[in-house]
Chains A and B, each alone.
Chain A
Protein backbone atom coordinates (compact mmCIF):
# COMPACT_ATOMS: atom_id res chain seq x y z
CA UNK A 1 0.00 0.00 0.00
CA UNK A 2 1.16 3.51 -0.79
CA UNK A 3 1.56 6.46 1.54
CA UNK A 4 -1.68 8.08 2.68
CA UNK A 5 -2.65 11.27 0.85
CA UNK A 6 -3.65 13.80 3.54
CA UNK A 7 -7.36 14.60 3.30
CA UNK A 8 -8.05 12.16 0.46
CA UNK A 9 -11.35 10.27 0.79
CA UNK A 10 -12.59 7.58 -1.48
CA UNK A 11 -15.61 8.73 -3.46
CA UNK A 12 -16.02 6.11 -6.13
CA UNK A 13 -17.73 2.91 -5.05
CA UNK A 14 -16.65 0.05 -7.24
CA UNK A 15 -16.87 -2.37 -4.26
CA UNK A 16 -19.20 -4.85 -5.88
CA UNK A 17 -16.83 -5.55 -8.75
CA UNK A 18 -13.33 -6.91 -8.74
CA UNK A 19 -11.08 -4.75 -10.92
CA UNK A 20 -7.40 -5.28 -11.74
CA UNK A 21 -5.05 -3.21 -9.55
CA UNK A 22 -4.96 0.52 -10.32
CA UNK A 23 -8.02 0.42 -12.58
CA UNK A 24 -11.25 2.40 -12.21
CA UNK A 25 -14.65 1.72 -13.66
CA UNK A 26 -16.01 3.77 -16.57
CA UNK A 27 -19.35 3.72 -18.33
CA UNK A 28 -17.92 5.65 -21.30
CA UNK A 29 -15.85 4.11 -24.03
CA UNK A 30 -12.72 6.30 -24.17
CA UNK A 31 -10.43 6.25 -27.19
CA UNK A 32 -6.67 5.81 -27.25
CA UNK A 33 -4.89 5.99 -30.60
CA UNK A 34 -1.43 7.12 -31.59
CA UNK A 35 -2.49 8.80 -34.83
CA UNK A 36 -5.36 9.57 -37.18
CA UNK A 37 -8.17 7.07 -37.68
CA UNK A 38 -7.60 5.26 -40.98
CA UNK A 39 -10.33 5.00 -43.58
CA UNK A 40 -10.60 1.44 -44.91
CA UNK A 41 -13.01 0.67 -47.79
CA UNK A 42 -14.60 -2.76 -47.23
CA UNK A 43 -14.10 -3.86 -50.84
CA UNK A 44 -10.35 -3.57 -50.32
CA UNK A 45 -10.27 -4.88 -46.76
CA UNK A 46 -8.61 -8.20 -46.11
CA UNK A 47 -7.26 -10.13 -43.16
CA UNK A 48 -4.08 -12.12 -43.68
CA UNK A 49 -2.38 -14.65 -41.43
CA UNK A 50 1.22 -15.21 -42.57
CA UNK A 51 3.05 -18.18 -41.13
CA UNK A 52 6.75 -18.24 -40.30
CA UNK A 53 7.40 -20.10 -43.57
CA UNK A 54 5.79 -17.31 -45.57
CA UNK A 55 2.55 -19.12 -46.34
CA UNK A 56 -0.44 -16.75 -46.34
CA UNK A 57 -4.05 -17.36 -45.43
CA UNK A 58 -6.44 -14.61 -46.61
CA UNK A 59 -10.01 -13.59 -45.95
CA UNK A 60 -11.93 -10.84 -47.72
CA UNK A 61 -14.58 -8.87 -45.84
CA UNK A 62 -17.36 -11.02 -47.32
CA UNK A 63 -15.52 -14.23 -46.50
CA UNK A 64 -15.07 -13.13 -42.89
CA UNK A 65 -18.78 -12.34 -42.62
CA UNK A 66 -19.69 -15.80 -43.89
CA UNK A 67 -17.75 -17.57 -41.14
CA UNK A 68 -19.66 -18.67 -38.02
CA UNK A 69 -19.67 -15.76 -35.57
CA UNK A 70 -19.41 -15.74 -31.80
CA UNK A 71 -20.79 -13.09 -29.44
CA UNK A 72 -18.36 -12.69 -26.55
CA UNK A 73 -19.34 -10.50 -23.58
CA UNK A 74 -16.14 -9.50 -21.82
CA UNK A 75 -14.53 -6.98 -19.45
CA UNK A 76 -11.89 -4.72 -20.99
CA UNK A 77 -9.01 -2.95 -19.25
CA UNK A 78 -7.07 -0.03 -20.76
CA UNK A 79 -3.53 0.73 -19.61
CA UNK A 80 -4.64 4.37 -19.18
CA UNK A 81 -6.52 3.01 -16.11
CA UNK A 82 -10.15 2.67 -17.18
CA UNK A 83 -11.98 -0.63 -17.14
CA UNK A 84 -15.33 -1.29 -18.76
CA UNK A 85 -17.37 -4.30 -17.78
CA UNK A 86 -19.68 -6.54 -19.78
CA UNK A 87 -18.91 -5.21 -23.26
CA UNK A 88 -20.52 -7.29 -26.01
CA UNK A 89 -18.98 -7.95 -29.39
CA UNK A 90 -19.60 -10.06 -32.47
CA UNK A 91 -16.89 -11.62 -34.56
CA UNK A 92 -14.91 -14.68 -35.53
CA UNK A 93 -12.81 -16.70 -33.11
CA UNK A 94 -9.09 -16.83 -33.85
CA UNK A 95 -9.32 -20.59 -33.20
CA UNK A 96 -11.44 -20.87 -36.33
CA UNK A 97 -9.14 -18.65 -38.42
CA UNK A 98 -6.07 -20.56 -37.22
CA UNK A 99 -7.67 -23.99 -37.81
CA UNK A 100 -5.93 -24.74 -41.11
CA UNK A 101 -2.81 -22.69 -40.47
CA UNK A 102 0.32 -24.82 -40.28
CA UNK A 103 2.73 -23.32 -37.81
CA UNK A 104 5.12 -24.07 -35.00
CA UNK A 105 5.55 -20.36 -34.18
CA UNK A 106 5.34 -19.18 -30.58
CA UNK A 107 4.61 -15.50 -31.27
CA UNK A 108 2.37 -13.31 -33.36
CA UNK A 109 2.81 -9.69 -34.42
CA UNK A 110 -0.56 -8.15 -35.22
CA UNK A 111 -0.49 -5.51 -37.99
CA UNK A 112 -3.09 -2.83 -38.54
CA UNK A 113 -4.18 -0.52 -41.33
CA UNK A 114 -2.39 2.74 -40.54
CA UNK A 115 0.81 0.96 -39.46
CA UNK A 116 0.09 0.02 -35.83
CA UNK A 117 1.57 -3.23 -34.51
CA UNK A 118 1.35 -5.21 -31.27
CA UNK A 119 3.00 -8.47 -30.22
CA UNK A 120 1.49 -11.43 -28.39
CA UNK A 121 2.39 -15.03 -27.61
CA UNK A 122 0.40 -17.15 -30.07
CA UNK A 123 -1.13 -19.16 -27.23
CA UNK A 124 -2.84 -15.97 -25.99
CA UNK A 125 -4.76 -15.83 -29.28
CA UNK A 126 -6.02 -19.43 -29.06
CA UNK A 127 -8.38 -21.54 -26.92
CA UNK A 128 -11.29 -19.11 -26.95
CA UNK A 129 -9.24 -16.13 -25.80
CA UNK A 130 -9.28 -13.93 -28.94
CA UNK A 131 -11.50 -12.82 -31.81
CA UNK A 132 -11.57 -10.62 -34.90
CA UNK A 133 -14.67 -8.51 -34.07
CA UNK A 134 -16.74 -6.28 -36.33
CA UNK A 135 -19.74 -5.42 -34.13
CA UNK A 136 -19.89 -3.68 -30.76
CA UNK A 137 -23.09 -3.63 -28.68
CA UNK A 138 -25.18 -4.71 -31.65
CA UNK A 139 -23.92 -2.11 -34.14
CA UNK A 140 -21.11 -2.12 -36.65
CA UNK A 141 -17.80 -1.22 -35.01
CA UNK A 142 -17.16 2.55 -35.28
CA UNK A 143 -13.89 3.60 -36.98
CA UNK A 144 -12.57 5.38 -33.88
CA UNK A 145 -12.99 2.14 -31.91
CA UNK A 146 -11.18 0.11 -34.55
CA UNK A 147 -13.77 -0.53 -37.26
CA UNK A 148 -14.29 -2.12 -39.64
CA UNK A 149 -12.65 -4.89 -37.57
CA UNK A 150 -10.31 -5.12 -34.62
CA UNK A 151 -8.57 -7.79 -32.65
CA UNK A 152 -10.20 -8.54 -29.27
CA UNK A 153 -7.93 -10.09 -26.62
CA UNK A 154 -9.70 -9.04 -23.42
CA UNK A 155 -7.46 -10.81 -20.93
CA UNK A 156 -4.60 -8.44 -21.78
CA UNK A 157 -4.48 -4.61 -21.62
CA UNK A 158 -6.59 -3.23 -24.42
CA UNK A 159 -3.71 -1.89 -26.54
CA UNK A 160 -3.12 -5.56 -27.45
CA UNK A 161 -6.60 -5.62 -29.05
CA UNK A 162 -5.28 -3.95 -32.21
CA UNK A 163 -7.74 -1.59 -33.90
CA UNK A 164 -8.12 -1.69 -37.72
CA UNK A 165 -6.46 -5.09 -37.73
CA UNK A 166 -5.10 -6.26 -41.07
CA UNK A 167 -3.24 -9.44 -40.24
CA UNK A 168 -1.02 -11.58 -38.06
CA UNK A 169 2.61 -12.39 -38.73
CA UNK A 170 3.47 -15.65 -36.98
CA UNK A 171 7.08 -15.95 -35.93
CA UNK A 172 9.42 -17.95 -33.76
CA UNK A 173 10.75 -14.90 -31.91
CA UNK A 174 9.08 -12.12 -29.95
CA UNK A 175 9.29 -8.82 -31.87
CA UNK A 176 8.12 -5.74 -29.99
CA UNK A 177 5.12 -3.87 -31.37
CA UNK A 178 4.38 -0.15 -31.40
CA UNK A 179 3.67 0.65 -27.73
CA UNK A 180 5.87 -2.21 -26.55
CA UNK A 181 8.88 -0.51 -28.15
CA UNK A 182 8.22 2.86 -26.46
CA UNK A 183 8.13 1.79 -22.85
CA UNK A 184 5.01 -0.33 -22.45
CA UNK A 185 5.07 -3.90 -21.19
CA UNK A 186 5.87 -6.79 -23.51
CA UNK A 187 2.96 -8.95 -22.27
CA UNK A 188 0.48 -6.62 -20.53
CA UNK A 189 -1.47 -8.69 -18.00
CA UNK A 190 -3.80 -6.24 -16.18
CA UNK A 191 -4.17 -8.53 -13.16
CA UNK A 192 -0.40 -8.37 -12.62
CA UNK A 193 -0.44 -4.64 -13.48
CA UNK A 194 2.09 -5.07 -16.29
CA UNK A 195 1.71 -1.54 -17.66
CA UNK A 196 5.27 -0.52 -18.43
CA UNK A 197 8.48 -2.31 -19.35
CA UNK A 198 9.92 -3.83 -16.19
CA UNK A 199 6.57 -4.12 -14.34
Chain B
Protein backbone atom coordinates (compact mmCIF):
# COMPACT_ATOMS: atom_id res chain seq x y z
CA UNK B 1 0.00 0.00 0.00
CA UNK B 2 1.44 3.36 -1.00
CA UNK B 3 1.43 6.20 1.51
CA UNK B 4 -1.32 8.73 0.90
CA UNK B 5 -0.35 11.94 -0.90
CA UNK B 6 -0.93 14.52 1.83
CA UNK B 7 -2.23 18.04 1.37
CA UNK B 8 0.58 20.50 2.01
CA UNK B 9 0.39 24.21 2.66
CA UNK B 10 2.37 26.18 0.08
CA UNK B 11 3.18 29.89 0.28
CA UNK B 12 3.35 32.18 -2.72
CA UNK B 13 6.90 33.53 -2.93
CA UNK B 14 6.67 35.39 -6.22
CA UNK B 15 5.03 35.56 -9.63
CA UNK B 16 6.16 35.95 -13.24
CA UNK B 17 3.87 37.23 -15.95
CA UNK B 18 4.25 34.90 -18.95
CA UNK B 19 1.61 36.22 -21.35
CA UNK B 20 -1.19 38.79 -20.90
CA UNK B 21 -3.35 35.95 -19.48
CA UNK B 22 -0.86 33.51 -17.92
CA UNK B 23 1.11 33.76 -14.72
CA UNK B 24 3.80 31.58 -13.18
CA UNK B 25 3.38 31.06 -9.42
CA UNK B 26 6.57 30.45 -7.46
CA UNK B 27 5.53 28.43 -4.43
CA UNK B 28 7.43 27.35 -1.35
CA UNK B 29 6.26 23.94 -0.17
CA UNK B 30 8.05 22.79 3.00
CA UNK B 31 9.00 19.12 2.72
CA UNK B 32 8.28 18.87 -1.02
CA UNK B 33 9.32 15.31 -2.02
CA UNK B 34 10.49 16.25 -5.54
CA UNK B 35 8.92 15.31 -8.88
CA UNK B 36 9.52 14.19 -12.43
CA UNK B 37 8.99 16.66 -15.30
CA UNK B 38 5.49 16.29 -16.74
CA UNK B 39 3.81 15.62 -13.41
CA UNK B 40 1.06 17.82 -12.00
CA UNK B 41 -0.37 18.85 -8.64
CA UNK B 42 -3.84 19.33 -7.28
CA UNK B 43 -4.58 22.77 -5.86
CA UNK B 44 -7.38 23.21 -3.30
CA UNK B 45 -9.05 26.50 -2.43
CA UNK B 46 -11.38 26.89 0.55
CA UNK B 47 -13.61 29.85 1.40
CA UNK B 48 -14.74 31.10 4.80
CA UNK B 49 -17.93 29.04 4.64
CA UNK B 50 -15.96 25.85 4.23
CA UNK B 51 -16.70 25.46 0.52
CA UNK B 52 -13.66 24.04 -1.21
CA UNK B 53 -12.78 23.18 -4.77
CA UNK B 54 -9.82 21.52 -6.51
CA UNK B 55 -8.10 21.79 -9.88
CA UNK B 56 -5.00 20.19 -11.40
CA UNK B 57 -2.04 22.25 -12.66
CA UNK B 58 1.13 21.09 -14.38
CA UNK B 59 4.46 21.73 -12.73
CA UNK B 60 6.41 24.09 -14.98
CA UNK B 61 9.93 23.34 -13.76
CA UNK B 62 11.96 20.70 -11.94
CA UNK B 63 11.83 21.09 -8.16
CA UNK B 64 14.40 23.41 -6.61
CA UNK B 65 14.44 22.22 -3.03
CA UNK B 66 11.10 23.25 -1.58
CA UNK B 67 10.36 25.63 -4.47
CA UNK B 68 7.93 24.58 -7.20
CA UNK B 69 6.53 26.52 -10.16
CA UNK B 70 3.05 26.34 -11.64
CA UNK B 71 2.02 28.29 -14.74
CA UNK B 72 -1.67 29.13 -14.62
CA UNK B 73 -3.62 30.20 -17.68
CA UNK B 74 -6.47 32.49 -16.73
CA UNK B 75 -9.75 30.96 -17.89
CA UNK B 76 -12.64 33.43 -18.21
CA UNK B 77 -15.12 32.61 -15.46
CA UNK B 78 -12.73 30.00 -14.04
CA UNK B 79 -13.33 30.00 -10.32
CA UNK B 80 -9.84 28.77 -9.45
CA UNK B 81 -7.68 30.24 -12.24
CA UNK B 82 -9.16 33.73 -11.81
CA UNK B 83 -8.44 33.59 -8.08
CA UNK B 84 -4.88 32.38 -8.63
CA UNK B 85 -4.09 35.03 -11.26
CA UNK B 86 -6.05 38.01 -9.80
CA UNK B 87 -6.36 37.71 -6.01
CA UNK B 88 -3.70 35.32 -4.76
CA UNK B 89 -0.82 37.46 -3.42
CA UNK B 90 2.76 36.97 -2.30
CA UNK B 91 2.74 35.57 1.23
CA UNK B 92 -0.69 33.93 0.86
CA UNK B 93 -1.07 30.21 1.61
CA UNK B 94 -2.63 27.63 -0.69
CA UNK B 95 -3.13 23.89 -0.33
CA UNK B 96 -1.37 21.61 -2.73
CA UNK B 97 -1.19 17.82 -3.18
CA UNK B 98 1.20 15.88 -5.36
CA UNK B 99 3.16 15.14 -7.39
CA UNK B 100 0.65 13.19 -9.48
CA UNK B 101 0.98 11.19 -12.68
CA UNK B 102 3.57 8.72 -13.87
CA UNK B 103 2.81 8.45 -17.59
CA UNK B 104 3.14 11.87 -19.20
CA UNK B 105 6.68 12.24 -17.84
CA UNK B 106 10.22 12.38 -19.19
CA UNK B 107 13.11 10.98 -17.18
CA UNK B 108 16.36 12.89 -17.73
CA UNK B 109 18.24 9.57 -17.91
CA UNK B 110 16.54 8.80 -21.25
CA UNK B 111 18.60 9.37 -24.37
CA UNK B 112 16.06 8.70 -27.15
CA UNK B 113 14.94 11.64 -29.32
CA UNK B 114 11.99 13.57 -27.95
CA UNK B 115 9.32 15.50 -29.83
CA UNK B 116 7.30 17.97 -27.78
CA UNK B 117 4.17 19.43 -29.37
CA UNK B 118 2.27 22.06 -27.39
CA UNK B 119 -0.92 23.97 -28.06
CA UNK B 120 -1.09 27.23 -26.08
CA UNK B 121 -0.69 26.65 -22.34
CA UNK B 122 -0.08 22.97 -23.11
CA UNK B 123 3.58 23.96 -23.14
CA UNK B 124 3.72 24.03 -19.32
CA UNK B 125 4.56 20.35 -18.59
CA UNK B 126 6.81 20.28 -21.71
CA UNK B 127 8.72 23.30 -20.41
CA UNK B 128 9.40 21.31 -17.24
CA UNK B 129 11.01 18.65 -19.47
CA UNK B 130 13.14 21.23 -21.32
CA UNK B 131 14.27 22.74 -18.03
CA UNK B 132 15.01 19.31 -16.53
CA UNK B 133 17.07 18.47 -19.63
CA UNK B 134 19.16 21.59 -19.03
CA UNK B 135 19.49 20.91 -15.30
CA UNK B 136 20.68 17.34 -15.95
CA UNK B 137 23.00 18.46 -18.78
CA UNK B 138 21.25 15.88 -20.91
CA UNK B 139 22.14 15.69 -24.61
CA UNK B 140 18.95 13.85 -25.58
CA UNK B 141 17.86 15.33 -28.94
CA UNK B 142 14.82 17.54 -28.23
CA UNK B 143 12.47 19.28 -30.62
CA UNK B 144 9.64 21.52 -29.48
CA UNK B 145 6.82 22.69 -31.72
CA UNK B 146 4.69 25.30 -29.99
CA UNK B 147 1.41 26.39 -31.55
CA UNK B 148 0.18 29.80 -30.36
CA UNK B 149 -2.36 32.30 -31.63
CA UNK B 150 -0.07 35.30 -31.96
CA UNK B 151 3.42 36.46 -30.94
CA UNK B 152 2.08 37.92 -27.67
CA UNK B 153 0.82 34.45 -26.65
CA UNK B 154 4.32 32.95 -26.54
CA UNK B 155 5.21 31.52 -23.16
CA UNK B 156 8.75 31.63 -21.75
CA UNK B 157 9.85 33.50 -24.90
CA UNK B 158 13.19 34.92 -23.79
CA UNK B 159 14.19 31.77 -21.92
CA UNK B 160 13.45 29.61 -24.95
CA UNK B 161 15.43 31.98 -27.20
CA UNK B 162 18.44 31.66 -24.90
CA UNK B 163 17.98 27.90 -24.69
CA UNK B 164 18.11 27.34 -28.47
CA UNK B 165 21.27 29.47 -28.60
CA UNK B 166 23.08 27.89 -25.64
CA UNK B 167 21.87 24.30 -25.39
CA UNK B 168 23.10 21.85 -28.02
CA UNK B 169 20.53 19.51 -29.43
CA UNK B 170 17.43 21.58 -28.65
CA UNK B 171 15.37 22.89 -31.58
CA UNK B 172 12.34 25.08 -31.11
CA UNK B 173 9.73 26.05 -33.71
CA UNK B 174 6.75 28.30 -33.09
CA UNK B 175 3.73 28.07 -35.38
CA UNK B 176 1.10 30.82 -35.34
CA UNK B 177 -2.59 30.14 -35.84
CA UNK B 178 -4.06 33.70 -36.00
CA UNK B 179 -1.32 36.24 -36.60
CA UNK B 180 2.35 35.63 -37.39
CA UNK B 181 5.27 38.04 -36.85
CA UNK B 182 6.00 40.39 -39.74
CA UNK B 183 8.15 38.76 -42.39
CA UNK B 184 7.17 35.24 -41.35
CA UNK B 185 7.21 32.87 -44.35
CA UNK B 186 4.47 30.63 -42.92
CA UNK B 187 1.01 32.19 -43.06
CA UNK B 188 -1.00 31.87 -39.84
CA UNK B 189 -2.91 28.59 -39.84
CA UNK B 190 -3.52 25.58 -37.66
CA UNK B 191 -0.75 23.05 -37.22
CA UNK B 192 -0.70 20.38 -39.93
CA UNK B 193 1.26 17.40 -41.28
CA UNK B 194 3.75 19.69 -43.07
CA UNK B 195 4.66 21.40 -39.76
CA UNK B 196 5.10 18.09 -37.96
CA UNK B 197 7.27 16.74 -40.79
CA UNK B 198 9.37 19.89 -41.08
CA UNK B 199 9.94 20.55 -37.37
CA UNK B 200 9.50 17.06 -35.90
CA UNK B 201 11.53 13.85 -36.19
CA UNK B 202 11.14 11.22 -38.90
CA UNK B 203 9.33 8.17 -37.48
CA UNK B 204 12.41 6.03 -38.23
CA UNK B 205 14.23 7.96 -35.48
CA UNK B 206 11.69 6.48 -33.06
CA UNK B 207 11.18 9.59 -30.95
CA UNK B 208 9.00 9.63 -27.87
CA UNK B 209 6.29 12.17 -28.64
CA UNK B 210 4.59 14.25 -25.95
CA UNK B 211 1.52 16.16 -27.09
CA UNK B 212 -0.27 18.56 -24.74
CA UNK B 213 -2.98 21.12 -25.31
CA UNK B 214 -6.71 21.51 -25.82
CA UNK B 215 -8.55 18.34 -26.79
CA UNK B 216 -9.10 19.24 -30.47
CA UNK B 217 -5.43 20.14 -30.87
CA UNK B 218 -4.20 16.94 -29.23
CA UNK B 219 -6.60 14.75 -31.24
CA UNK B 220 -5.40 16.31 -34.47
CA UNK B 221 -1.68 16.24 -33.71
CA UNK B 222 -1.73 12.68 -32.32
CA UNK B 223 -3.70 11.39 -35.31
CA UNK B 224 -1.38 13.22 -37.72
CA UNK B 225 1.70 11.72 -36.04
CA UNK B 226 0.17 8.24 -36.38
CA UNK B 227 -0.60 9.04 -40.03
CA UNK B 228 3.04 10.06 -40.59
CA UNK B 229 4.12 6.63 -39.35
CA UNK B 230 4.85 7.19 -35.66
CA UNK B 231 4.10 4.20 -33.43
CA UNK B 232 1.00 5.07 -31.34
CA UNK B 233 2.72 3.46 -28.34
CA UNK B 234 5.37 6.18 -28.45
CA UNK B 235 2.84 9.02 -28.45
CA UNK B 236 1.86 10.27 -25.02
CA UNK B 237 -0.94 12.77 -24.70
CA UNK B 238 -2.37 15.12 -22.13
CA UNK B 239 -5.57 17.01 -22.92
CA UNK B 240 -7.49 19.74 -21.23
CA UNK B 241 -10.71 21.60 -21.79
CA UNK B 242 -14.01 20.69 -23.40
CA UNK B 243 -14.37 18.66 -26.57
CA UNK B 244 -15.92 21.52 -28.49
CA UNK B 245 -18.73 19.33 -29.79
Q: B residues within 8 A CB of A199?
A: 4-5
Q: A residues within 8 A CB of B240?
A: 30
Contact of A196 with B226 in the complex, beta carbons under 8 Å:
no
Which of B43-51, B118-126, B134-142 has 4 or more CB atoms under 8 Å from chain A? B43-51
For window 97-139 of A, CB contacts with B under 8 Å fall at 114-115
A169 on interface, CB distance cutoff 8 Å: no
Distance, CA A150 to CA B148, complexed state (A): 34
Which of A35-43, A52-60, A65-73 has 4 or more CB atoms under 8 Å from chain B? A35-43
> Contacts A33-B237, A198-B4: A8 and B87 contacting too (C-beta < 8 A)?
yes
B215, B233, B241 — which one has the most chain A CB atoms within 10 A of its CB?
Answer: B215
Contact of A8 with B83 in the complex, beta carbons under 8 Å:
yes
* CB closest residue in chain A, given B221: A36
A2 on interface, CB distance cutoff 8 Å: yes
Distance, CA A32 to CA B104, complexed state (A): 12
* CB closest residue in chain A, given B50: A1
- Which of B48, B53, B101, B222 touches A37 (beta carbons < 8 Å)? B222
* CB closest residue in chain A, given B3: A198
B79 on interface, CB distance cutoff 8 Å: yes
By secondary structure, the B interface counts as mixed
Q: A residues within 8 A CB of B242?
A: 26, 28-30
* CB closest residue in chain A, given B233: A115
Q: B residues within 8 A CB of A12?
A: 53, 79
Nearest CB of chain B from residue A157's CB, rounded to whole Å: 13
Which of B16-24, B67-75, B91-99, B157-165 has 4 or more CB atoms under 8 Å from chain A? B91-99
> Contacts A144-B243, A198-B4: A35 and B47 contacting too (C-beta < 8 A)?
no
Interface positions of A (Cβ within 8 A of B): 1-12, 22, 24, 26, 28-38, 80-81, 114-115, 142, 144-145, 178-179, 181-183, 196-199
Contact of B235 with A2 in the complex, beta carbons under 8 Å:
no
- Which of B79, B87, B94, B239 touches A33 (beta carbons < 8 Å)? B239
Q: A residues within 8 A CB of B94?
A: 5
Nearest CB of chain A from residue B104's CB, rounded to whole Å: 8
Distance, CA A1 to CA B52, complexed state (A): 8
Contact of B237 with A36 in the complex, beta carbons under 8 Å:
yes
> Contacts A11-B79, A81-B56: A35 and B2 contacting too (C-beta < 8 A)?
no
> Contacts A198-B5, A199-B4: A34 and B237 contacting too (C-beta < 8 A)?
yes
Q: B residues within 8 A CB of A181?
A: 102
B189 on interface, CB distance cutoff 8 Å: no
Contact of B47 with A3 in the complex, beta carbons under 8 Å:
no
Q: B residues within 8 A CB of A198?
A: 1-5
For window 188-245 of B, CB contacts with A under 8 Å fall at 215, 219, 222-223, 225-226, 232-233, 235-237, 239-243, 245
Q: A residues within 8 A CB of B7?
A: 2
Q: A residues within 8 A CB of B101?
A: 182-183
B54 on interface, CB distance cutoff 8 Å: yes
B172 on interface, CB distance cutoff 8 Å: no
Give the 4 A-B residue pairs with the shortest CB-CB distance, closest first: A182-B102, A28-B242, A198-B4, A197-B2
Q: 15 A-B pairs, CB-CB below 8 angstroms?
A: A2-B44, A2-B52, A5-B83, A7-B83, A8-B47, A12-B79, A24-B53, A29-B243, A30-B241, A34-B236, A35-B232, A36-B222, A37-B222, A197-B1, A198-B4
> Contacts A30-B243, A196-B100: A3 and B46 contacting too (C-beta < 8 A)?
yes
Q: A residues within 8 A CB of B215?
A: 30-31, 144
Distance, CA A37 to CA B236, complexed state (A): 11
Q: B residues within 8 A CB of A9?
A: 47
Nearest CB of chain B from residue A52's CB, rounded to whole Å: 25
New contact pairs (6) apart from A1-B52, A7-B92, CB-CB < 8 Å: A3-B9, A5-B92, A30-B241, A35-B235, A144-B219, A181-B102
Q: B residues within 8 A CB of A29?
A: 242-243
> Contacts A1-B50, A198-B1: A114 and B92 contacting too (C-beta < 8 A)?
no
* CB closest residue in chain A, given B79: A11
> Contacts A10-B51, A22-B54, A80-B56: A35 and B46 contacting too (C-beta < 8 A)?
no
> Contacts A3-B93, A7-B83, A196-B100: A35 and B223 contacting too (C-beta < 8 A)?
no
